[in-house]
Copies of this chain bind each other. A is one copy, B any other.
Amino acid sequence: MASSSPSPSTHRGQQKCCFHEWMILQEADLSEMLQALTVEDNFGDRDVLLRQLVQKNVEHFQAYADERTRLAQDHVSPFFAPSWCSSLENSLLWLAGCRPSLFITLIYALSGIEIESHIPEFLQGTRTSELSELSLAAPQLSMINQLQRRTIKQEEELSQQLACLQEKIADQPFALIAKESSHVASQNVQADEALDEHSTSMVRILEEADKLRIKTLKEMMNILSPVQAVDFLVAGKKLHLCIHDWGQKRDIKHDYFQV
């Protein structure tokens, strides 16, 4: 990801900076999409613009994931509970990010909101036009349902892989190293080597989780119309920014604040 200011010198600084740049970029992308949605459509040229924005957003997500993977090579574990996020955000993490199935929960929720908001008009017989863009058509619902099943299955597979990796910490060689340690544990070469190997596996699973997040998002974008896709991305980014903000406010309220 491009940065105008010089890179911080510490790993923690670089990782934190990567996240902050990502949040700033999301705000900028959100503004651009909100602006685009107000443009009048002339012979489908708005759809071309919206498609470009969807493409751009997916590319930004990919670039963020690539940058995280690069930084994770040095020290992967902070990404699983970053000190630069609020405790609320960290409690919602699945493999260092959001659950991909959350995209599907959100599109169903948005579609439901859309339908509910028009119920009074239907009841009064004042609504004659079609439902607005976020009301999903039957074929779309079917495709999203299939996507949801696939995504949950892949999520479960990755959760299982993480469980195995987490359990390895109580297996060999860690069990033996700890058993033979003196009362106050001391760093030793063998432990360091085993932890390095463990970290390599954690980087791999982080990459796989990011791949699944991006794949799910791309498939969702292919199912939705351009305006639906942009509406969805807008809602998703708003939700992410809200959770970030709510989490910070709640940590401050409860005297819990990370530096």
A: residues with CB less than 8 A from B are 9-13, 15, 27, 30-31, 34, 74-78, 80-81, 83, 86-88, 90-94, 99, 101-103, 105-106, 108-110, 112-113, 155, 159, 163, 166-172, 174-179, 181, 183-187, 191-192, 195, 202, 235, 238-239, 241-247, 249-251, 254-259
Q: Which residues of B contact A168 (CB under 8 A)?
A: 105
Partner of A255, one of B11, B235, B243: B11
Q: Which residues of B contact A170 (CB under 8 A)?
A: 102-103, 105-106, 109, 239
Please name 11 further chain A to chain B contacts, defined as beta carbons within 8 Å, in addition to the given A77-B87, A106-B170, A169-B243, sorted by A numbering: A31-B183, A75-B87, A75-B250, A77-B88, A81-B81, A101-B163, A105-B171, A178-B238, A185-B245, A187-B249, A191-B242
26 A-B residue pairs with CB within 8 Å: A9-B255, A11-B255, A11-B256, A30-B183, A31-B183, A75-B251, A76-B91, A77-B250, A80-B90, A83-B256, A94-B166, A102-B167, A102-B169, A105-B170, A106-B171, A109-B170, A112-B172, A113-B175, A174-B239, A174-B243, A175-B235, A178-B235, A178-B243, A179-B238, A181-B242, A185-B241
